[in-house]
């Protein structure tokens, strides 16, 4: 029997028709699990590598200042040792000459013997430039180390016949165990020993002491001189002086290794150059000129950085009491320099060292580049291992489990299987999905499977309520149902379901 009828809403659950979401409400495209895990691993490894690299580089740069400080202490110690050794040589020779005259082993006026003594002392003390005597009548006598192969005897005195002061220079060449006379030259001179600061200081202070020197007969060169009075039988007989030319200290400074390409300069408290490793300073000193720092700085970028600090307000040599280390940018070349000023325990001198920052940072930057390349390679390797491991342990199993969920969504419960995983959580999740599929499968006994698949695929949601629709319903009877039910019992349910 077949009939048609319009049904009114009923309170039972009914399938609601699918409702399409508006375009603006649609969910945005999601990021894939593999891409997310890959990005996370890459980000973690990269950040770790960058943090390691920056930490190492910062620590290395911070340690550069300590290295420069240690190097400067060694340089200052070397300069201190050299100056002290030179001063000791000068003092010992001065005391030797004074003692010889004081004990009257020879007389200051004994020309031949004093020449012999001065020659011997100069040859045995290569750090000294002059050994000289100044007499109360203004006469000057000195032995000069004119070069490695020449010693000159210089005497300036007044000619008793003409009354004219004359300078006599005798040239000698050292020979093994002896000296050879090479010649003599006599010229007019206005040099008066008693008018010289070194002579006047010794007389005024009545004892040994140091002073700067710029004027000597025959050869004028910037120098320091120690002088002391000669007293024989309580009578003042003159002043003995020992001279060390600044060129000697400049040569020593030029031989010092200051970093790789650094330099060192010796200054007084007024900022004037005493000695410098710069070649221009040596040339000026040989011409008898006192090198000016500003002049040297014009062609020497490192010395220009020293001059810039002295002209600024950040440093005062007059007030310097302890080592000061500064970092500055050269006004000529724009490079970074470490400049260190250290007081020297003599004559208020200051040792200034200049070391280009690149001497240390270049090796650090090379090491940093090597480390960066190594970290980049390590990052790639670790990231590859991490990505493969994450894909194998997490991404691939989750994607397979997602496939199982798709089977449940499509109500194809017979395709759901247990997926074993080395990760306990994923293994438990797969087991729970299998149990869920088995629970849902029991509903197949009461509802046609294809109907459920159709409703699920169309997005139809079961909810309270209903709608009026025209339906065609057929009521029929199964032929022989009573006999079938009696014969099959509960086994008749699958037959009826089909």
**How far is residue 25's CA from residue 174's CA, in Å, rounded to a whole number?**
107
Cβ of 230: how many Cβ atoms within 10 Å? Answer: 21
Using CB atoms within 10 A of its CB, is residue 493 exposed (0-12), middle (13-18) or buried (19+)? exposed
pLDDT of residue 61: 62
pLDDT of residue 426: 72
Residue range 257-356 forms a domain whose CATH class is alpha beta
The residue whose two tokens read 């650090």 is 364
pLDDT of residue 134: 94
Secondary structure of 101-120 as H, E, C letters: HHCCCCCCCCHHHHHHHHHH
pLDDT of residue 10: 43
pLDDT of residue 226: 93
By the 8 A CB rule, do 203 and 195 touch? Answer: no
pLDDT of residue 200: 93
**How far is residue 42's CA from residue 48's CA, in Å, rounded to a whole number?**
10
Distances (CA, A) of 316 to 237, 306, 456: 43, 12, 89
Q: Which CATH number fits domain 86-244: 3.30.450.20, 3.40.50.2300, 1.20.1250.20, 3.40.50.80?
A: 3.30.450.20
- Each domain of the chain, given as residue ranges in start order, spans 86-244, 257-356
- Domain 86-244 and domain 257-356, same fold? Reply is yes
pLDDT of residue 228: 94
**How far is residue 198's CA from residue 194's CA, in Å, rounded to a whole number?**
9
pLDDT of residue 202: 94
Q: How many residues does the chain have?
A: 498
pLDDT of residue 156: 93
**How far is residue 252's CA from residue 344's CA, in Å, rounded to a whole number?**
16
**How far is residue 82's CA from residue 77's CA, in Å, rounded to a whole number?**
9
First to last CA, the chain: 22
Q: Which of 138, 272, 250, 268 is nearest to 196 (CA)?
A: 138
CA diameter of the chain = 173
pLDDT of residue 177: 67
Coil/strand/helix, residue 84:
helix
Coil/strand/helix, residue 396:
helix
Exposure string over 403-427, b if 16+ CB within 10 A, otherwise e: ebeebbeebebeebeebebeeeebe
Q: Which of 188, 128, 183, 190 is nearest to 153 (CA)?
A: 183
The low-confidence residues of the chain, meaning pLDDT below 70, are 1-34, 36-37, 53, 56-65, 177-178, 360-368, 371-372, 409, 440, 442-447, 452-453, 455-466
Coil/strand/helix, residue 67:
helix
**How far is residue 206's CA from residue 199's CA, in Å, rounded to a whole number?**
10
Coil/strand/helix, residue 230:
strand
pLDDT of residue 447: 67
């Amino acid at each position: 029997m077949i009939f048609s009828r319009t049904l009114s809403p009923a309170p039972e659950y009914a399938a609601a028709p699918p409702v399409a979401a508006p375009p603006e409400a649609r969910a945005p495209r999601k990021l894939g699990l593999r891409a997310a895990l890959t990005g996370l691993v890459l980000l973690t490894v990269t950040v770790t590598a960058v943090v390691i690299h920056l930490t190492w580089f910062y620590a290395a740069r911070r340690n550069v200042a300590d290295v420069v400080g240690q190097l400067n202490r060694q340089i200052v110690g070397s300069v201190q040792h050299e100056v002290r050794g030179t001063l000791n040589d000068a003092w010992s020779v001065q005391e030797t000459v004074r003692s010889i005259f004081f004990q009257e082993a020879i007389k200051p006026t004994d020309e031949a013997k004093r020449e012999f003594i001065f020659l011997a002392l100069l040859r045995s003390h290569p750090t000294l430039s002059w050994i000289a005597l100044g007499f109360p009548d203004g006469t000057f006598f000195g032995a000069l180390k004119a070069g490695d192969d020449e010693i000159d005897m210089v005497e300036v005195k007044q000619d008793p016949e003409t009354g004219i002061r004359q300078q006599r220079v005798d040239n000698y060449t050292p020979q093994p165990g002896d000296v050879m006379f090479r010649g003599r030259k006599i010229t007019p001179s206005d040099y008066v020993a008693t008018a010289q600061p070194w002579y006047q200081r010794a007389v005024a202070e009545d004892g040994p002491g140091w002073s700067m020197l710029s004027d000597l007969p025959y050869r004028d060169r910037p120098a320091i001189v120690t002088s002391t009075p000669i007293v024989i039988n309580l009578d003042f007989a003159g002043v003995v002086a020992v001279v060390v030319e600044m060129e000697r200290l400049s040569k020593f400074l030029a031989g010092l290794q200051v970093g790789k390409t650094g330099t060192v300069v010796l200054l007084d408290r007024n900022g004037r150059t005493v000695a410098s490793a710069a070649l221009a300073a040596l040339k000026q000193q040989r011409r008898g000129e006192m090198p000016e720092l500003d002049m040297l700085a014009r062609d020497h970028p490192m010395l220009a950085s020293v001059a810039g600090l002295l002209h600024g307000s950040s440093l005062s040599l007059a007030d310097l009491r302890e080592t000061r280390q500064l970092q500055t940018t050269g006004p000529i070349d724009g490079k970074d320099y470490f400049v260190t000023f250290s007081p020297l325990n003599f004559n208020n001198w200051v040792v200034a060292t200049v070391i280009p920052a690149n001497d240390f940072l270049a090796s650090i930057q090379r090491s940093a580049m090597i480390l960066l390349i190594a970290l980049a390679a390590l990052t790639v390797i670790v990231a590859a291992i991490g990505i493969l491991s994450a894909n194998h342990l997490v991404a691939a199993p989750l994607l397979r489990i997602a496939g199982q969920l798709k089977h449940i969504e499509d109500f194809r419960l017979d395709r759901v299987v247990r997926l074993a995983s080395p990760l306990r959580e994923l293994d438990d999740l797969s087991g729970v999905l299998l149990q869920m599929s088995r629970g849902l499968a029991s509903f197949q006994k009461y509802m046609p499977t294809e109907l459920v698949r159709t409703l699920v695929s169309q997005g139809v949601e079961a909810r309270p309520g209903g709608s009026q629709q025209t339906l065609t319903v057929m009521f029929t009877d199964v032929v022989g149902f009573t006999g079938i039910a009696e014969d099959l019992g509960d086994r008749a349910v699958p037959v009826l379901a089909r």
